[in-house]
């Protein structure tokens, strides 16, 4: 089996390279492959059995005023990859987001829940899902994830630890609920899904359980031996941003069970493991 990772220089792309260590892997970053270029995509996919697409326009707020640019990467990119994979008989995994939902639910979103995004970023990712599944229905996997942190890039958990070095106290929103997810766990789950030859379709790649940003922030400090009481709760009105955020982003995991696979472990267990492994250690 030969694997191609697009967007390979990002946080998840780097952990996927680790999870696939020892296998035949081509890792292409943004500078190596423009996923919006159909001809370049077709050439890159040739000779590979599996493509894992981590390329994305991820600046949620900038997408509000640059939706065309976000659409090119988040929708046209997966469409190009799906078409190339379908032509060449390769499987495609494309990474999506909880932001395809509006956040009005009170119980975990099922994989087949209708998409209803409330911001430009979510709209472009929803379009990417639809196009990938439409162009390669028998071989496209959409893996939605959320609240990612890991060793190879900036993220919320690292920001909290940096703030602990420069501030005595600070506030974090306590009215948005989601699932903190370690990219190493997600990478391992994607590889397990492929190795098991799971059915194509939509999967929710998040650690289990749920937390608010406030609870996640305090857990990050607690695991690192820093007093979590230094963080106080606030609500979203204190941090008004261009793009609205879903208030509820908890994703259900029924598709894993249906495929005979276990869902990802609880977020707090993953965070403890990540901390113990030095994921947040400074270079």
Of 99, 121, 149, 203, catalytic = 121
Tokens of 170: 């600070």
Tokens of 216: 């996640």
What whole-number distance in Å separates Cα of residue 260 and Cα of residue 247? 31
Q: For residue 7, which of 59, 74, 66, 60 has the smallest C-alpha distance?
A: 74
Tokens of 263: 């869902």
What whole-number distance in Å separates Cα of residue 263 and Cα of residue 91? 21
Query: What is the three-state SS of 205-235?
Result: CCCECCEEHHHHHHHHHHHCCCCHHHEEEEC
Active site residue 3: no
What whole-number distance in Å separates Cα of residue 124 and Cα of residue 107? 24
CA distances from 118 to 101, 124, 126, 140, 169 (A): 7, 11, 11, 25, 32
Query: What radius of gyration do the chain's Cα atoms show?
Result: 18
Residues designated catalytic: 121
């Amino acid at each position: 089996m030969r694997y191609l990772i697009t967007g390979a220089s990002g946080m998840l792309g780097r952990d996927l390279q680790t999870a696939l260590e020892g296998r035949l892997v081509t890792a292409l970053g943004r500078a190596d492959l423009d996923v919006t270029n159909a001809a370049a995509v077709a050439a890159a996919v040739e000779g590979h059995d599996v493509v894992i697409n981590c390329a994305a326009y991820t600046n949620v707020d900038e997408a509000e005023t640059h939706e065309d640019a976000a659409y090119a990467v988040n929708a046209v990119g997966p469409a190009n990859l799906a078409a190339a994979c379908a032509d060449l008989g390769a499987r495609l995994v494309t990474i999506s987001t909880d932001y395809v939902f509006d956040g009005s639910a009170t119980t975990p979103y099922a994989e087949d829940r209708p998409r209803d995004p409330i911001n430009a970023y979510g709209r472009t990712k929803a379009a990417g899902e639809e196009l990938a599944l439409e162009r390669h229905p028998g071989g496209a996997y959409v893996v939605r994830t959320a609240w990612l942190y890991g060793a190879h890039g900036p993220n919320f958990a690292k920001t909290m630890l940096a703030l602990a070095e420069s501030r005595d106290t600070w506030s974090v929103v306590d009215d948005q609920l989601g699932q903190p997810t370690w990219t190493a766990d997600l990478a391992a789950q994607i590889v397990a899904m492929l190795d098991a030859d799971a059915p194509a379709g939509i999967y929710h790649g998040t650690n289990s359980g749920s937390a608010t940003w406030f609870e996640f922030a305090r857990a990050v400090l607690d695991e690192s031996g820093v007093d979590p009481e230094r963080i106080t709760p606030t609500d979203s009105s204190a941090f008004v941003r261009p793009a609205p955020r879903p208030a509820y982003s908890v994703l259900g995991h029924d598709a894993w069970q249906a495929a005979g696979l276990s869902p990802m472990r609880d977020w707090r267990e993953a965070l403890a493991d990540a901390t113990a492994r030095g994921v947040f250690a400074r270079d």
